[in-house]
């Protein structure tokens, strides 16, 4: 299967035009005419993932996070990113990114997160596009029945891949929760939207002390702060399934390498 064909399938599911203007999505390195037999899906384009791709003899890595977001004038192997580019090109491995265009897709990053933490039924965007109510950032869904915040946190923790610090909860652990908002990755820009949506709890990542403290003090939903990598990892499987269901004949693998920035909690 040519890389061009694989990219066509990915871009039908994750149209690049839907990416944020500051984002950098699409093919980072690789020749479109290259044959692709094995595709590795990972959250981060980092050295450990490149090594995994080498060992498994992947032809293509699809990551959620971009390698370069800002203008660069050198890919010399004198920086970690330049070294990564060298490793990939020397070994005929292409790199492709679907980032904010995967966040807002349907199904996208937050759909996979919502299912991983146990939400059922229809999922609607927390912040829908004005022109498309079924696409947008975050998702709102329901638990099958109300449970305490503490029990939901334990369930969410089990549903997400293990990281060094697990998850943190802000709010009364005995509070009943059933209507839940989730957003993969750093979701603090959606705090106000989650409050306006009158959900019982908002699960995201990378929350900071002051916004979180003020949010809970103001009587907003409870908060669950998970590891950034863990909230986006469930999407990898869904992206791999999109390739398979399109009839593209490639082997896929989801990287289980934990590339969250935090390697240990004490
Ligand atoms: Zn992210």
For 203-212, the pLDDT digits (tens) are 999 999 999 9
- Which pLDDT score, from 0 to 100, does residue 241 have? 96
Residue 182 has pLDDT above 90, yes or no: yes
Whether the predicted model's global pTM rises above the 0.95 cut: yes
Q: How far apart are CA 251 and CA 127, in angstroms?
A: 34
Work out the average pLDDT over 246-266. 93
Work out the average pLDDT over 225-248. 96
Work out the average pLDDT over 170-196. 97
Q: How far is the CA of 22 from the centre of ligand 1 (A)?
A: 14
For 96-131, the pLDDT digits (tens) are 999 999 999 999 999 999 999 999 999 999 999 999
Residue 247 has pLDDT above 90, yes or no: no
Q: Per the structure block, which two tokens stand in for 30? A: 């690789």
For 51-73, the pLDDT digits (tens) are 999 999 999 999 999 999 988 99
Q: How far is the CA of 37 from the centre of ligand 1 (A)?
A: 27
Tokens 């959606």 found at: 190
Q: How far apart are CA 149 and CA 132, in angstroms?
A: 32
Q: CB–CB of 250/34 below 8 Å? A: no
Q: Per the structure block, which two tokens stand in for 141? A: 């869904």
For ion ligand 1, residues whose CB falls within 5 Å: 185
Instruction: Calculate what percentage of the chain has a pLDDT beyond 90.
Output: 96
- Which pLDDT score, from 0 to 100, does residue 248 have? 87
Q: How far is the CA of 91 from the centre of ligand 1 (A)?
A: 27
Q: How far is the CA of 174 from the centre of ligand 1 (A)?
A: 30
Q: How far is the CA of 65 from the centre of ligand 1 (A)?
A: 6
- Which pLDDT score, from 0 to 100, does residue 265 have? 85
């Amino acid at each position: 299967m040519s890389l061009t064909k694989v990219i066509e399938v990915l871009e039908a599911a994750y149209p690049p035009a839907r990416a944020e203007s500051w984002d950098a999505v699409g093919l980072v390195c690789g020749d479109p005419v290259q044959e692709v037999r094995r595709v590795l899906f990972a959250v981060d384009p980092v050295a450990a993932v490149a090594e995994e791709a080498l060992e498994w003899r992947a032809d293509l890595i699809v990551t959620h996070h971009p390698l370069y977001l800002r203008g660069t004038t050198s890919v010399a192997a004198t920086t970690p990113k330049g070294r990564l580019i060298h490793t990939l090109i020397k070994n005929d491995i292409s790199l492709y990114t679907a980032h904010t265009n995967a966040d807002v897709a349907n199904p996208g990053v937050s759909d996979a997160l919502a299912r991983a933490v146990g939400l059922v039924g229809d999922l609607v965007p927390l912040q829908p596009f004005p022109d498309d109510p079924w696409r947008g950032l975050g998702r709102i869904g329901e638990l099958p029945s109300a449970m305490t915040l503490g029990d939901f946190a334990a369930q969410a923790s089990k549903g997400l891949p293990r990281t060094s610090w697990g998850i943190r909860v802000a709010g009364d652990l005995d509070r009943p929760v059933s209507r839940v908002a989730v957003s993969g990755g750093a979701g603090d820009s959606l705090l106000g939207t989650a409050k306006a949506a009158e959900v019982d709890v908002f699960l995201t990542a990378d929350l900071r002390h002051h916004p979180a403290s003020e949010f809970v003090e103001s009587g907003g939903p409870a908060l669950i702060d998970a590891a950034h990598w863990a909230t986006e990892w469930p999407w990898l499987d869904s992206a791999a399934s999109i390739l398979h269901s399109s009839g593209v004949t490639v082997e896929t693998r989801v990287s289980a390498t934990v590339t969250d920035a935090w390697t240990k909690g004490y």
